[in-house]
Amino acid sequence: MKKTGIVRHQIYLKHKTGVLHPESPQRLQAIYSMLDNRAFGDAVVYIEPRYATLDEILWVHDSRYVDRVLDSAEKARVRFDPDTVTSPKTYQAALMAAGGVMEAIKQAVTKEVLNAFALVRPPGHHALRDQAMGFCIFNNESIGAYYAMKAHGLRRVLIVDWDVHHGNGIQSIFYDNPSVLYFSVHRAPFFPWSGEVSEIGAGEGEGYTVNVPLVPGCSNEDYGNIFRHLLRPIAEQFRPELVIVSAGFDTHHDDPIGSMNLTPEGFARMTALLMEMAALSCEGRLVLALEGGYSPEGLRDSVEMVLWELSGNSKIDKDQMQHAEDAHYERMAETIERVKGIHHRYWKF
């Protein structure tokens, strides 16, 4: 029986951001402690991460920027921007974060595992070609998408970003590339002040960037409706060969930053819907990479629910959740119709 792969490693805890920084090692410590104390048993298997090679990092990032990251090695602190700092082992953690995502993708693509969750840090979706940003050093998901295409010959990759922040780095890297469809649902206006519904890609990539900006306070039902009525029809037409998720948990109702109202069950519901989409188009090949989430307890509980879902031990009532989504559809109707109105030239709804 195929299992759910989990990437974890102590090096990710060596990226020290400072006592008051929200993107702290305590986030992963809470998750790792949960993994050690839950009876996932034979449903999961651990995937050993590796360091990304320089060539792999250069698929996405400018060489001068990579040199700056490597030059931070063993230095007490380098500040790349007001939010993004390094410690002596950050460069190792960043290389291993990208490498961990690639190893998860490798095992999913080769069917060693059914699906996978890379529990890594530092996160990646804000990192631009030539600069760190928003706690992110290397763009883990973008490197992973290139790896899937270059090392495994995939032609179509879907990246779904459910972090509360727009993944401006992923968007910019693939903005003119029709091989990667980027779908982001995020709070707006909010950092990094991008991700308007009018940002749809450029050139050959026009229509392959889909942004769904939301107001604060959105719920499980709201996200479920966006996934069902926007993402699913687009995914069915795009037919991805791999689905990568920028899995941020800062939309949890207890998160100190996000101002959204998702529960752990809501994250499991989004995961279930993505599993259905992946099953239809790419034999279930689904890889999640950890992004935000700044309530350690909320992060822990939400990741646990996602892992139960990925491993086939669902703890949610999907029929009941769909009924609730149907009952609350009107709350998202205007947003959904606005996105459809812009993207109807590229996708059938």
Query: Strands 44-47 and 180-187, how do they pair?
Result: unpaired
Q: Which residues contact 60 (CB under 8 A, 6 or more apart)?
A: 129, 138, 139, 142, 143, 146, 173
What gap in Å lies between CA 293 and CA 94, rounded to an integer? 18
What gap in Å lies between CA 262 and CA 303, rounded to an integer? 13
Asked if 69 contacts 95 with a C-beta cutoff of 8 angstroms, the reply is: no
Which amino acid is it at 198? S
Residues facing residue 245 across a β-bridge: 160, 288
Q: Is 209 helix (H, G, I), strand (E, B) or coil?
A: strand
Of the residues 126, 165, 229, 252, only one is catalytic, namely 126
What gap in Å lies between CA 118 and CA 105, rounded to an integer? 9
Residue of 200, 302, 188 lying closest to 245 (CA atoms):
302
**Mapped to the 3 state alphabet, what secondary structure does 146-203 carry?**
HHHHHHHCCCCEEEEECCCCCCHHHHHHCCCCCCEEEEEEEECCCCCCCCCCCCCCCH
Q: Residue 55: phi, psi to the nearest 5? A: -60, -40
**What would you report as the CA-atom Rg of the chain, rounded to the nearest whole angstrom?**
18
Q: Does 126 qualify as catalytic in the annotation? A: yes
Give the DSSP letter string of 131-151. B-BTTBSS-HHHHHHHHHHHH
Q: How far is CA 250 from CA 26, 136, 163, 247, 257, in A?
A: 15, 15, 6, 9, 7
Q: How far is CA 62 from CA 54, 67, 74, 116, 147, in A?
A: 11, 9, 22, 29, 17
Query: Strands 84-86 and 78-81, how do they pair?
Result: antiparallel
Residues with catalytic function: 126
